[in-house]
Structure 1
Amino acid sequence: MARTKLYTGIYVALFVIATMQVGIEQIGLLEESYVLALALITAFSVIKAVIVAGYFQHLVWEPRSLTYVMMLGFVGFLALTVAASYSIQ
């Protein structure tokens, strides 16, 4: 049986975080402080990604070793992204 209350709470949390991301743009924070707005939106995106990976991809209920493998892939993705951003300049 699906955990209806849990998934409803996760949906509400994701909806609120997405609304906050849109709100950052709507209040004009991007024009005032681009770096702050970018940092906030990135932080919110990471939080949403962790929630989705943890609950909708069932990593919360998997052995920790599988979670570490997923995190290793994420760190590799970040390293490649940073390397690519330096090569563009």
Structure 2
Amino acid sequence: MASGYTRERRTRLEALAELLPHHGLVSRMVGTDDPVLWVWHPRTGRQTIIFATPSNRGWLFLWSPSGQGSADELEHTAAALRQTLDMAQT
């Protein structure tokens, strides 16, 4: 049985995942007790893992490299994630 924390994390990640196709991104939920969202950009092939964590400002999404977005601003977060995955690999 999932804890309240795990359910909240999953709910936040699912809400973000619903928006990603509108930003040209594909995602898949990974993990059960500690869910994360695996996200990739079909055109660039770039991918990252999204973590959801509570903070003193509410829930945050974190991704590499140094990405961060608010769970209360899903559209802004999805756009920032798209921008990260649009960047050409070096």
Both proteins in one fold, TM over 0.5: no
Larger RCO: Structure 1 or Structure 2 (Cα < 8 Å, ≥ 6 residues apart)?
2
Greater strand share, 1 or 2?
2
Greater helix share, 1 or 2?
1
